[in-house]
Chains A and B, each alone.
Chain A
């Protein structure tokens, strides 16, 4: 899933 590891919000 391309979402994975892309949590750039706090």
Chain B
């Protein structure tokens, strides 16, 4: 564990709490992509299968994994049941097949061994890197977002961005690198580039998140 990894994980945790806060306080899931949230559940469940297969990494690791699976399912419940009426499916029209299909193919092609759990792990890495697409698509379509929603997306982007120095650090200190996670992580962080630009230049200076026309 190094400081980049720790703060990356904390940013990831923060993103979930910000999302819950947004839904609970505004009593609405307006502006959020249900599809992105479903993809995160798929990501967590397929990646954290090792929880149920007896692989033990650490107490920290297990607690975090359980939290991410539990909280992401709870968010689906909030969006689908409790605040269903505030969700606008006509905005959330990104075709997730275009994300799941290629991720599955990449998972089958690039993995550390051709076993069920390793393929699913690899699939989850590729899928996570693009899971934010439906959410960014909504931002693009509406051209603006509530500030708290932008904080949520920023926390998610910061989480993956911090994993990059973590990998560099681990490469130097442990001599090990995880090429699948690194490539997908770089892609994922890159996807946030446009968003970050508007977020840092506008939202953090108290302005609304509005995309330039």
Residues of A within 8 A of B (CB): 1, 3-5, 7-10
Contact = CB atoms under 8 A, between A and B. Distances in A.
B112 interface: yes
Interface string B118-145: 1001000000000000000000000000
B61 A4 contact: no
Contact of A10 (B61, B112, B178): B61
B181 interface: yes
Nearest to A2: B112
A3 B50 CA distance: 14
Contacts of A4: 112-113, 115, 118
B68 A10 contact: yes
A-B residue pairs, 4 tightest by C-beta: A3-B112, A1-B113, A8-B57, A1-B112
B30 interface: no
Contacts of B55: 5
Contacts of B186: none
